[in-house]
Amino acid sequence: MNPLISSAIFAASLIAGGAFLPQTLAAEPPQNAQRIASVGGAVTEIIWALGEQHRVIARDTTSVFPPDVLDLPDVGYMRRLSPEGILMVNPDLVLTEPGSGPPETLELLAEAQIPFIDVPGDYSANGILTRIHAVADALGVPEKGDALAARIGAELEAVKLRGQARVTEDSARPKVLFILSMPGGRLNVSGTGTRADGIIKMAGGRNAISEFDQYRILADEAIITAAPDVILMMTATGTGSTSNGEILAHPAIQLTPAGQNNAIIRMDGSLMLGFGPRTAEAATQLTEAFFSKPESQ
């Protein structure tokens, strides 16, 4: 897949939030399912981390890691799943993250008696462990889930301790502005309750925006008032991406500490915002970046 398209799809999934929710389960989910359609990057990564990847026969467009998952049939973007694509691969279980849809597709799956499980979990360390246990239970391998959760939990606790060691009080935590995109020269940024908000906090930073939740186009005055120390973005891919130069040239950004110090941090979106087994790695990298001298990229 074109990296730019993949990045755009991932970004769209962040904006969409939890717009769709499954209405019913078609049947009692079989724990011995051998033909699983995995929908959602975190769910897919957890299945691989559990060593159960041999049971996955299809994935959605947001499932891009590990690389060999790309060899599987793609049943569509998680919020616009293709019922034909899913039915064609004949799964005996669909595992997905909340917000998958649309409702019409879920209704067709229910009519076809295909079990459908929403994997719960918020954007926190506990949310990641909840996802791991939920996937392991759905696959009938709770012992593997316990082992994986213990390992990932220890990694996340180590990240927390490293972050605490960096600061002695909240005011010492850098204010971080996550910019999702810049349509028409206007900044679309993260408020609270998002994946971006979760990883910023996990890495020891403070979200520069606390006045609203989810994503919103922010007025220039609000950007200046927020006064972020750091700007956080997904890695730029392709000619349609917003470059660091474009961000730093924004008049409001130029009046912030982040803009004056050229403090922009970028990371692969699926790593930074996946909230799966690799989140401790992402948070560790961000902690180091947040508390290091900023460099222009």
Task: Read off the pLDDT band of 252 (50, 70, 90).
Answer: very high
Quick check: is 269 in a domain?
yes
Look up the CATH number of the domain holding residue 259: 3.40.50.1980
The pLDDT, as a whole number, for residue 26 is: 45
Whether residues 104 and 211 fall in one domain: no
The pLDDT, as a whole number, for residue 83 is: 86
Q: Count structural domains, the chain.
A: 2
Among 21-25, 99-103, 190-194, 238-242, which is the least confidently predicted range?
Answer: 21-25
Per-residue pLDDT tens digits for 68-87: 999 999 999 988 888 888 99
Quick check: is 147 in a domain?
no
16: pLDDT strictly greater than 60: no
Quick check: is 268 in a domain?
yes
The pLDDT, as a whole number, for residue 32 is: 85
Q: How far apart are CA 205 and CA 108, in angstroms?
A: 43
Residues 6 or more apart in contact with residue 179 via CB below 8 angstroms? 187, 188, 189, 231, 232, 233, 242, 247
Q: What are the angstrom distances between the C-alpha of 89 and each of 32, 39, 72, 138, 225?
A: 17, 14, 10, 19, 52
Among 2-11, 59-68, 80-89, 106-115, which is the least confidently predicted range?
Answer: 2-11
Whether residues 206 and 99 fall in one domain: no
The pair of three-digit structure tokens given for residue 273, joined into one six-digit string: 């915002």
Cβ 36 vs Cβ 92: under 8 Å: yes
Cβ 283 vs Cβ 202: under 8 Å: yes
Q: Order the strands of the 36-39 sheet from edge to edge.
A: 56-59, 36-39, 93-96, 116-118
Considering 119, 152, 186, which residue would you say is the last residue of a domain? 119
Quick check: is 134 in a domain?
no
3-state secondary structure of 232: strand
Whether residues 186 and 114 fall in one domain: no
Quick check: is 113 in a domain?
yes
The pLDDT, as a whole number, for residue 10 is: 56
Alpha helices in the chain (DSSP H): 3-16, 41-49, 83-89, 103-111, 125-138, 142-166, 195-202, 220-226, 244-248, 257-260, 269-273, 279-290
The domain in which residue 18 lies consists of 3-119
% of the chain with per-residue pLDDT over 90: 68
CA–chain centroid gap for 267, Å, is: 12
Per-residue pLDDT tens digits for 209-246: 999 999 999 999 999 999 999 999 999 776 567 899 99
Whether residues 180 and 277 fall in one domain: yes
- What pTM did the predictor assign? 0.86
Quick check: is 15 in a domain?
yes
The pLDDT, as a whole number, for residue 172 is: 79
295: pLDDT strictly greater than 60: no
Work out the mean pLDDT of the chain and round it to a whole number: 87
Quick check: is 146 in a domain?
no
Whether residues 28 and 99 fall in one domain: yes
Whether residues 193 and 105 fall in one domain: no
Task: Read off the pLDDT band of 207 (50, 70, 90).
Answer: very high
The pLDDT, as a whole number, for residue 18 is: 44
Quick check: is 157 in a domain?
no
